């Protein structure tokens, strides 16, 4: 209700008051028509001022009950809004997992493609800068997901498994870099190491590509709950602003 209309009651309040008085009038009229003297005896038991005060107190009580109900409805509405925000925040965490999985998948695929192309750098420094350094950076960021958000479902478990493998592979790459940092690439031993690193990278990618779809399945119920809460909140907002 706007400030300029604050001296007027709402249509809902007027309807409630009218219904109450109609019901009271109907009861009194029925008693009169049937010859009952209860209404008259009631009025004989007190003067008009007493009855006016009693009716006023009763009306105030009805208003207080309605106000309490309105306050309860508002609190429930606020609780739904808070719950809706919490649900959206959780959905955001799952979405973040899916996005990160796609990014690391893309990054690791570049290393796999480079090793499969057959044109790997033979210079150790060039190999370190162009190939191994980006790989280790991606593996390090992925390995940090071992302590990621604690969420139920398959997608967080897949991400955690990929992170554990990434941590182990990062150590293997560091060991290779330390051992062959100054050795010309292309011999049998270094080729075997690179091939082994690629195979483990492919295993990590196999896990990462499953995360987005698993995330969708993990959030089906939560997404439905979010839509239900949103519809309820929108309806209540409309009712609260209609008075």
Which of 40-49, 100-109, 148-157 is most confident?
100-109
In this predicted structure, the answer to whether residue 190 has a pLDDT above a threshold of 60 is: yes
Q: What is the mean pLDDT of the chain?
A: 75
The domains of the chain are located at 8-80, 97-232
- Contacts of residue 16, Cβ cutoff 8 Å, sequence gap at least 6: 62, 66
pLDDT in tens, 193-217: 888 899 999 999 999 999 999 999 9
> What pLDDT shows up at residue 32?
47
Whether the predicted pLDDT of 39 surpasses 80:
no
pLDDT of residue 8: 45
Residue 1, pLDDT score: 43
DSSP string covering 76-118: HHHHHHHHHHHHHHHHHHHHHHHHHHHHHHHHHHHHHHHHHTT
Token pair, residue 174, equals 């560091």
pLDDT average, residue stretch 24-41: 50
User: pLDDT (tens digit, 9 = 90+) per residue, 130-184?
Assistant: 888 899 999 999 998 887 778 899 999 999 999 999 999 999 988 888 877 666 6
The answer to pTM > 0.85 is: no
Which of 215, 198, 81, 83 has its CA nearest to residue 156?
215
Give the percent of the chain with pLDDT over 70.
63
Q: How far apart are CA 91 and CA 218, in angstroms?
A: 10
CATH architecture of 97-232: Up-down Bundle (1.20)
């Amino acid at each position: 209700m706007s400030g300029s209309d604050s001296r007027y009651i709402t249509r809902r309040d007027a309807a409630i008051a009218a219904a109450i008085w109609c019901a009271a009038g109907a009861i009194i009229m029925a008693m009169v028509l049937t010859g009952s003297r209860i209404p008259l005896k009631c009025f004989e038991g007190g003067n008009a001022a007493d009855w006016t005060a009693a009716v006023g107190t009763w009306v105030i009580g009805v208003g207080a009950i309605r106000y309490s109900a309105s306050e309860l409805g508002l609190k429930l509405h606020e609780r739904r809004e808070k719950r809706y925000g919490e649900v959206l925040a959780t959905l955001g965490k799952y979405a973040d997992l899916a996005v990160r999985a796609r990014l690391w998948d893309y990054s690791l695929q570049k290393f796999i493609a480079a090793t499969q192309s057959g044109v790997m750098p033979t210079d150790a420094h060039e190999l370190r800068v162009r190939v191994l350094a980006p790989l280790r950076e991606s593996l390090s960021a992925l390995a940090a997901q071992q302590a990621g958000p604690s969420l139920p479902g398959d997608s967080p478990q897949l991400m955690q498994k990929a992170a554990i493998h990434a941590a182990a592979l990062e150590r293997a790459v560091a060991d290779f870099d330390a051992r062959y940092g100054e050795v010309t690439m292309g011999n049998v031993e270094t080729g075997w190491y690179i091939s082994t690193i690629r195979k483990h990278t492919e295993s990590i990618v196999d896990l990462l590509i499953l995360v987005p779809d698993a995330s969708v399945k993990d959030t089906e119920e939560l997404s439905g709950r979010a839509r239900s809460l949103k519809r309820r909140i929108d309806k209540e907002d409309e009712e609260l602003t209609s008075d």
